[in-house]
Amino acid sequence: MSKLDEPFERAEVLDKPGIVGARWWHQGLAEAPKDASRRSAIMLALGAVGLAGVAAAIAVAADGCSDEETEVQRKLALDMQRTFGWSFGAAQESVTFDGESKKPFDQGALARMSTDLRPADEALRAYYVPSLFESPSAMSTAVPQGDPAPVTPLVNVLRPIFTLAMDRAYRSGKALASLLLAAQTDSGLRREILVIVDLDGPESVAFAAGAAEAFEPVFTFDNWPHPRGVVKAHLTLAAAAYYQPLFARPAPGPRATMFVLDRQRLSAYSDDAAQFDNRYVARLPAADALWNRGVRRVLYVVPTDLDTVESDDLNDDLVAYRMRQLDVRMMAADVFAQDPAEAKPAVETEDWPPYYYGGGAASHGWFWVDYPWGPPLPPAPEPVEPSARVRRPGKLYTPTLRATPFSSSGAPRVPENFGTVPVIVAIGTGAILGAALSRSGSWNRASGGYGG
């Protein structure tokens, strides 16, 4: 028996704008006897609408819709998530939080996250990007007409995390802050130094939390989490939730400025069917804006001493800073480490163990030798140069113009289709029917599949 001779059963109801004839087609099939074969049911449906609907009916019977009725368009990923929900195209999937914190968690505080993590200095708010911190409390404003599956609010899914990598980054940030605090004789040095932290999202947040006493963080996370996100933004958000109480407490006195980036923002991406492109380009102040603010030194923080080249989307910015006579240097976050010779205190606190520049209490002050930006070193005790095993190539770094996918001659350049996702659009109405993800998505199961 062929498939056309098998008993007919209606599996799906198709009634969407842009799907020509969907309503009358289903009506014709619904009126067919239950024991009718597929061939008989199709012939009954065709008879109900006459020869004028034959072509459209055959198209619907074969594929669920016609290629002439829909098309794939690329839309900005963040726009789609703001409109249809954070898990657009994968509403029945979720995210996992490796390193979930066991500390008490005030879920209600998530609604204040974008405010709690906003710079206290109003002049810096123009550079603050709150997108990621707005996602927990955001509500979708529409439902994709081909994929009405309900989206679980992100606030119900999010859990804070705390990992060993975050702990190391936090202590490294605290060590950098201690150098600035110890070197200060007035607020001038705080105005002169700008730090750009370019670590993986959770570690960047942790570094900023550790440094918060001396540096005011300006977060630049311009994406939302997604179950299939190329950038694991949910982990960055979870780290921010862990440190939110610390960031919400105002620090006394003026602080230096620290821009906080997610190094994963440019992650490799190749598969529309399985991945959601939530990448984005970092945005930093123009060189003139920094100069006018009093900045004269820029410290670019990378994960390890093996990272000797800036991220592609920062090359133009850092070169422009150098051309404006700003002293731009690089530093690896792992240059800070615990002093193995330091005795453990009788009563441990959260500050134990402290980290030091070069991995030793005696070498901590050598930071000001490698980066001669502070006041003269005190006469005694003089710092000791870190061991030769502690590589510090960043102190000699100078940004050099190079060709990247983001190279520009003025305005920031974003590669074509960067940070966009393919969606199915009804040609007749322009309605968005769903995301063109793989068949495991709820939209694709319901519609017959638009994955590729």
If you write DSSP's letter for every residue of 52-77 in order, what string do you get?
A: GGHHHHHHHHHHSS-TTTEEEEEEEH
Structure confidence by residue, pLDDT tens digits, 323-372: 999 999 999 999 999 999 888 887 777 888 999 999 999 999 999 999 99
pLDDT under 70 in the chain at which residues? 1-68, 184-188, 375-380, 409-412, 438-452
> How far, CA to CA in Å, does 244 sit from each of 110, 116, 118?
9, 7, 11
**Structure tokens, 395:** 């102190």
Three-state DSSP class for 186?
coil
Strand partners, 194: 257, 298
**Inter-residue contact 233 to 277 (CB < 8 Å):** no
Task: Name the nearest CA neighbour of 308 among 394, 371, 367.
Answer: 394
Task: Name the nearest CA neighbour of 432 among 440, 442, 443, 441.
Answer: 443
The whole-angstrom separation of Cα 120 and Cα 254 is 10
Residue with tokens 């598969």: 271
pLDDT at 412: 60
Q: How many CA atoms lie within 13 A of 232 on its CB side?
A: 12
pLDDT at 142: 93
**Structure tokens, 223:** 């994406």
pLDDT at 185: 59
Task: Name the nearest CA neighbour of 23 among 55, 42, 62, 49.
Answer: 49
pLDDT at 128: 98
pLDDT at 376: 63
Question: Longest C-alpha distance within the chain, in Å?
Answer: 100
Question: What is the b/e burial string over 59-87, where b = at least 16 CB atoms within 10 angstroms of the residue's CB?
Answer: bbbeebbbeebbeeeebebbebbbebbbb
